[in-house]
Copies of this chain bind each other. A is one copy, B any other.
Amino acid sequence: MRTVRRRIKARKDETDGRRRRGDQARITVLERAMDVASVDGFEGLTVGSLASDLGIGKSNISALFGDKETLQIKTLDASVGVFIENVITPTQAEISPIKRLHRVCSGWFDYVERRVFPGGCVLHAAINEYRAKPGALRDKVSSYRNNWKALLERTIREAQSAGEIGLDHDAQQLAFKLIAFQAASNTAALLGDKKYFSLGRELTEAAIAEAANGPRMPSPRSGSRES
């Protein structure tokens, strides 16, 4: 039985002992499943290998998670929950949209660098695994990707409304750049290319700084953005 990290919190209000133990078992399985999915992919998840990894009966895992697809979906949901908890939640108290944008992006780099998941960013992993495989998992992944895009675009637009980013900047273009830098930095980190990972972080900072009003002059170029 391998050591399992704790990224998922147990329900605090659970006083019934039997339900509390069920909750603990659910978390133990999910923690291990998230690591397996992060490295081997969600298709690599099986009730059998989780059971032997954890020394838990297959029937217990099936009782908690149902079939393979349900296990995959619950593992994806739990992984995205950990992503949100690590990258998004800590920024939400920040009132300034541009500072929130900056924090959520630097938080993304920290989360990959700290290896919250052994296979890097769970969202990029899942997007790449299911990009060409129609089905329930791809639909879920696609909707999570849209939420991440929407969060970045919305934050940029809020910064524009707050006068922190000029209205001549295109929110969708800036969000695309940030997501693209994350995609390339994620694989760089995992392939041990520290130089490229740092470059991704620097270019992210620079793209936000360029968009922000401040000591830096707004760029006079129009070709690199939509009018």
Contacts and interface: CB of A to CB of B under 8 A. Distances in A.
Interface of A: 38-41, 43-44, 118-120, 124-125, 127-129, 131-133, 138, 142, 145, 149, 172-173, 176-177, 179-181, 183-187, 190-191, 195-196, 199-200, 202-203, 206-207, 209-210, 216-217, 219-221, 223-226
Contacts of A44: 43
Copies of this chain, whole number: 2
A220 B219 CA distance: 9
A51 B167 CA distance: 58
A219 to B, nearest CB: 7
A179 B196 CA distance: 11
A40 B124 contact: no
A200 B180 contact: yes
A191 B223 contact: no
The 8 A-B pairs with the shortest beta carbon distances in the complex, nearest first, are A206-B224, A128-B128, A180-B184, A131-B190, A183-B183, A119-B132, A180-B180, A39-B132
13 contacts: A38-B132, A39-B132, A120-B132, A128-B187, A131-B190, A145-B191, A180-B183, A180-B203, A206-B224, A206-B225, A209-B223, A210-B221, A217-B220
